[in-house]
């Protein structure tokens, strides 16, 4: 059943998830990204909800009349709620006293989905620039063929990189890929002739492309049937293979190496890789993917837990099996001035000049 915004006296003034603090009284709209029933120790049912907006998500519970409340909304509805924020296991949770679904005319769904701070078209333009810099004609043809497909291109710039772990927001996939491309360029430049830059860069761009069909992100973030049954690694290999078939004289060995990079990029069999990485570029790719994902996840943890309390530590993180330190080193002004003349007006403390060697060009793949 759908109620109007004023039927139950709930304010429609938006309070964002990122701003919710302990003891806040909450009244406003959120996306119900999860809806599950639990049974308490007394045998009384309760509802578990994950409420979401463009700034993040928060767990919520309905303890009273859970069965009645469950009839007033469905998963992926935008709902108006009344609730109270409480501390729970080192984080914040909402105890919800009232909830109901809003009519679609009262909201825009994109207002409730988190998205990258970067403009998606600008990120795709940057990706086009990376592709244009690929020198191997076969790999450039493959990447060009894939990203000329309007459906693939549209989904690629919209998709999150994951449901929850890292870059879990609209545009997260291309943001993650661009970060990896930057890392790949640096690594190839550092090791120079030991790494085929074009192969590594193509692997970075295509390693997660199957996620455009593995994940559902038109309302809340979830897995598609195809994603659950097949997974993004298999989907990605099939997609790439279909485009390889459109390119005349694409070298079979190069196709095998590219497929191996996608199949092995999770690094270990227990992490979902059908194969462990067995080429230098595949090994580097798996480490870069893992590093970028973990750095993004830690940065998000530090940012999201800043609002919980003033502690220098996040709550215990099951993903990392440890607490994460939120503090850091803040150099004092005299430290920043060391190395330059005192009082030099042209000296900018804390700003080191950018430099570095220009990476050498990639080795030819096959003669």
pLDDT digits (tens, 9 = 90+) for 4-62: 545 555 555 678 888 898 889 998 899 998 899 988 888 889 999 999 888 888 999 99
The chain-wide mean pLDDT, for the chain, equals: 84
Could you give the percent of the chain with pLDDT greater than 70? 85
Selected residue with higher pLDDT from 355 and 74: 74
Predicted local distance difference test score (pLDDT) of residue 8: 54
pTM (predicted TM-score) = 0.74
> Residue 237 corresponds to which tokens in the numbers above?
């290999």
For residues 123-145, give the mean pLDDT.
97
Domains of the chain, each with CATH number or no CATH: 17-112 (2.40.50.140), 120-300 (1.10.3210)
The pLDDT tens digits for 145-200 are 999 999 999 999 999 988 777 788 889 999 999 999 999 999 999 998 889 999 99
Other CB atoms within a 10 A radius of the CB of residue 21 amount to: 11
Is there a contact between 160 and 168 (Cβ–Cβ < 8 Å)? yes
pLDDT > 90 in the chain, percent = 51
Once rounded to an integer, what is the mean pLDDT over residues 77-99? 90
Task: Report CA-CA distances (Å) from 70 to 32, 101, 222.
Answer: 11, 10, 20
Asked if residue 60 lies in contact with residue 93, where contact means CB atoms within 8 angstroms, the answer is yes
| CA distances in angstroms from 277 to 166, 172, 282, listed in the order given | 22, 25, 5
In this predicted structure, the answer to whether residue 266 has a pLDDT above a threshold of 50 is yes
pLDDT the model gives residue 2: 45
Q: Minimal CA–CA distance to 157: which of 172, 143, 145? A: 172
């Amino acid at each position: 059943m759908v109620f109007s915004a004023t039927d139950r006296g709930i304010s429609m003034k938006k309070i964002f998830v990122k701003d919710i603090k302990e003891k806040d009284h909450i009244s406003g709209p959120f996306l119900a990204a999860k809806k599950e029933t639990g049974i308490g120790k007394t045998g009384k049912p309760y509802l578990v909800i994950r409420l979401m907006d463009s700034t993040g998500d928060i767990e919520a519970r309905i303890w009273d009349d859970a069965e009645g409340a469950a009839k007033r909304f469905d998963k992926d509805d935008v709902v108006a709620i009344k609730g109270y924020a409480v501390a729970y296991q080192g984080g914040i949770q909402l105890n919800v006293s009232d909830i109901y679904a809003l009519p679609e005319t009262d909201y825009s769904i994109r207002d409730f989905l988190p998205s990258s701070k970067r403009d998606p078209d600008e990120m795709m333009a940057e990706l086009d620039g990376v592709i244009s810099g690929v020198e191997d004609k076969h790999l450039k043809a493959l990447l060009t063929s894939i990203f000329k497909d309007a459906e693939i291109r549209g989904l690629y710039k919209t998709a999150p990189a994951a449901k929850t772990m890292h870059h879990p927001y609209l545009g997260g996939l291309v943001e993650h890929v661009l970060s990896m491309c930057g890392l790949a360029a640096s690594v190839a430049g550092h090791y120079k002739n030991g790494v085929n830059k074009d192969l590594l860069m193509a692997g970075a761009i295509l390693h997660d492309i199957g996620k455009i069909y593995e994940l559902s992100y038109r309302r809340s973030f979830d897995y598609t049937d195809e994603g659950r049954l097949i997974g993004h690694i298999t989907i990605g290999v099939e997609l790439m293979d279909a485009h390889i078939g459109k390119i005349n004289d694409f070298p079979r060995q190069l196709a095998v190496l590219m497929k191996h990079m996608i199949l092995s990029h999770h690094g270990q069999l227990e992490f979902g890789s059908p194969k462990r990485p067995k080429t230098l570029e595949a090994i580097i790719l798996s480490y870069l993917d893992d590093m970028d994902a973990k750095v993004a996840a830690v940065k998000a943890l530090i940012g999201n837990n800043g609002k919980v309390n003033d502690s220098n530590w996040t709550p215990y993180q099951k993903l990392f099996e440890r607490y994460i330190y939120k503090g850091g080193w803040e150099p004092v002004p005299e430290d920043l001035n060391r190395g330059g003349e005192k009082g030099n007006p042209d000296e900018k403390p804390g700003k080191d000049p950018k430099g570095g060697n220009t990476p050498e060009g990639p080795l030819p793949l096959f003669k």
